[in-house]
Structure 1
Amino acid sequence: MDPSLDKALLGMTLEEGEEPFVIPDLPEYYSIERNAVSLVGRLLNPQCQNISEVILEMPRKWRLYDRVRGVALSRDRFQFIFKHEHDLLDVLNKGVHTSNQWTLAMERWVEIPPPDYLQFIEVWVQMRNIPVNHYTKAALTSLRDFAGQVIEVEFDPDKPQLKDYIRVKVKFNLSKPLRRFKTVTVPGGEVVKILYDYERLQKRCYSCQRLTHEQSQCPFFQAAYAHAEVKGKAIENFQSQLAERVIKEDDPLFGVVLDSQVGINPLNGRPKIADEVLEGMRHYLLEAEGAEKLARKERIKWSLKEIEHDPIAQKTMLRLEPPPTFTADLNKGKGFVFDFQKQNENLRSMNSPGGSKLMASAFRVGNALSMEPRLLGLASEDVAFSESGGVLCQEGGRALL
């Protein structure tokens, strides 16, 4: 291709020019006079609100009909132009307005909107459960700010109060959740909850208490749902493992070991009986025939029943876990106990000539107790069955159940 033609193609653009169009600064290009009697608003939850419905619905709600005209500015912004100033002020004074039960943010039009334009709404809040000794202007001033920037308070200490709440008008930040209560501590140590109820606000997210989305779209709810889904799958896998470990009909232990005695313990997630122990039971039964086999089955049943209420025996003999250790030192692992007299006595006893010998003797006694054999009660050709009750026995040099 010709280099000059290639260069010309690269320089081509679908746009007519890069220079922006400048709107002439002339009166006929402005609509300031018309906008001066208008409200501008936005949908807080565009997924549940429709801009065309707002344009058609709100004049009917306000009962203005032909005295107001709506304009859709974008997919989530709108404008209402009023014929009369008093109609505009009446709509503003009514407070929060909703469409499809979701809140609308509306403010009076300004030529140059500030950065926080349409980011706040003015809403009345009912404060309940105020301590009886703190119905004062100073206390109410402190408590009301938790719901938003306070604009007005309905409170007259010299007049009867017929309602069980104080009404406060606040400027609420739409990017924040609605506060339902605030825990406060009054002088004297009593803890109370100041309850907040918002007038004219209908739907909200029940997970994060925001006005901008439903619960199904809430990032906090989705995160919790994902966590619950992962947890649910883990539970399903756990339950499938339980089902897989049930004794089958072709298993030598079928009818000998109950389903409730095997599988995974739901409390700790570990097998109730170790695979090695179950395999030892199977070999123990397969090596016998006839009456001897029946006797061995009864011994296994009896042995399992004997240690059914002995958690240590279950731990060491069925699950093959190391036995627990016990200590009389109630402060073990706590670090310094700040009992200096006792610590000095311990130091003197350890540094004394007989101290190390006493400790060594104690260690030897403890080891001897932990190594004490337990009679396990499954008789074999080499070891007779014991009436003392146990589970393990020895046959041909092999531990069996």
Structure 2
Amino acid sequence: MFPFLVNRWNLRGKAVGSDLGRGMFQFRFDLVEDLQQVLENGPYHFDQWMIILQKWEPIISKNFPSQIPLWVEIHGLPKHFWQTEMLSVIGEELGQVLQTDITPATAKVRVLLNGLQPLTKESVVEFANGEEIVVTLDYKNLKSHCHHCHHLTHETKQCPGLLTKKEASPPPPD
């Protein structure tokens, strides 16, 4: 995995990776600019799985690292509401808004979200006149994840929620 990522990052300096166990790794970069570029250009994938890359902090927490920057395309929002402020409001429900992008064809928001929590696939947008609409959220560049519970940590066939339902179901009659 280390050579794959380092080659993909196109670094000016070098980066060295260490396996910390429990699926966690640490990279050391020669140049601060390389570290910043890697963090800004995520997310990254290895073997179809999203990789959480976060600048190291001197803490011990089961929730660290957890932050992933993702572009989220918003569907169902009337075009006359495609405004930076509106996209930011929708994005703030997901996490920290990093950027918005409005083109003639798409309305997107880049959000730093908690990759350990399930993805939000829909959001209710309330307007000043009291009306509401439901918009769908399409996470760009998202590969393997669970389509049942929307977690990034497993595929649908390994979903604990589905396994529990299967175990709770009575066996079919003979």
TM-score, with length taken from structure 1: 0.39
Check conservation: 1:125, 1:169, Cα contact below 8 A. yes
Unaligned ranges ≥5, structure 1: 1-53, 156-160, 238-401
Q: 2:59 aligns with which of 102, 110, 113?
A: 113
Q: How many Å separate the matches in 2 of 1:57 and 1:173? A: 24
Q: 1:209 aligns with which of 147, 150, 173?
A: 150
Residue 99 of structure 1, CA deviation: 1.1
SS at match of 1:169: strand
Q: 1:85 aligns with which of 32, 57, 62?
A: 32
1:208-255 Cα distance to aligned partner (Å, 9 max, x none):
01011122322111122224x42x52xx25xxxxxxxxxxxxxxxxxx
Matches within 5 A, 1:192-203: 192-203=133-144
Q: 1:124 aligns with which of 71, 74, 84?
A: 71
Question: Which structure ranks higher in relative contact order (CA pairs < 8 Å, sequence separation ≥ 6)?
Answer: 2
Residue 64 of structure 1, CA deviation: 4.3
AA paired with 1:208? C
The 1:72–1:146 alpha-carbon spacing in structure 2 relative to 1, beyond 3 Å, is same
Count of matched residue positions in the alignment of Structure 1 and Structure 2: 173
Q: How many Å separate the matches in 1 of 2:130 and 2:14? A: 57
1:221 aligns with 2:167: no
Matches within 5 A, 1:126-275: 126-155=73-102, 161-163=103-105, 165-184=106-125, 186=127, 192-227=133-168, 229-230=169-170, 232-233=171-172, 236-237=173-174
TM-score, with length taken from structure 2: 0.82
AA paired with 2:20? L
Give the structure with the higher percent strand: 2
Task: From the CA coordinates, give the structure whose radius of gyration is larger.
Answer: 1
Two-structure CA RMSD over aligned residues (Å)? 2.7
Check conservation: 2:43, 2:70, Cα contact below 8 A. yes
Residue 186 of structure 1, CA deviation: 4.7
1:273-319 Cα distance to aligned partner (Å, 9 max, x none):
xxxxxxxxxxxxxxxxxxxxxxxxxxxxxxxxxxxxxxxxxxxxxxx
Check conservation: 1:125, 1:196, Cα contact below 8 A. yes
SS at match of 2:97: strand
Residue 188 of structure 1, CA deviation: 6.5
Q: How many Å separate the matches in 2 of 1:138 and 1:101? A: 33
Q: How many Å separate the matches in 2 of 1:208 and 1:114? A: 27
1:164-210 Cα distance to aligned partner (Å, 9 max, x none):
x2221212112321111224455677653312122232110111010
1:1-34 Cα distance to aligned partner (Å, 9 max, x none):
xxxxxxxxxxxxxxxxxxxxxxxxxxxxxxxxxx
AA paired with 1:142? V
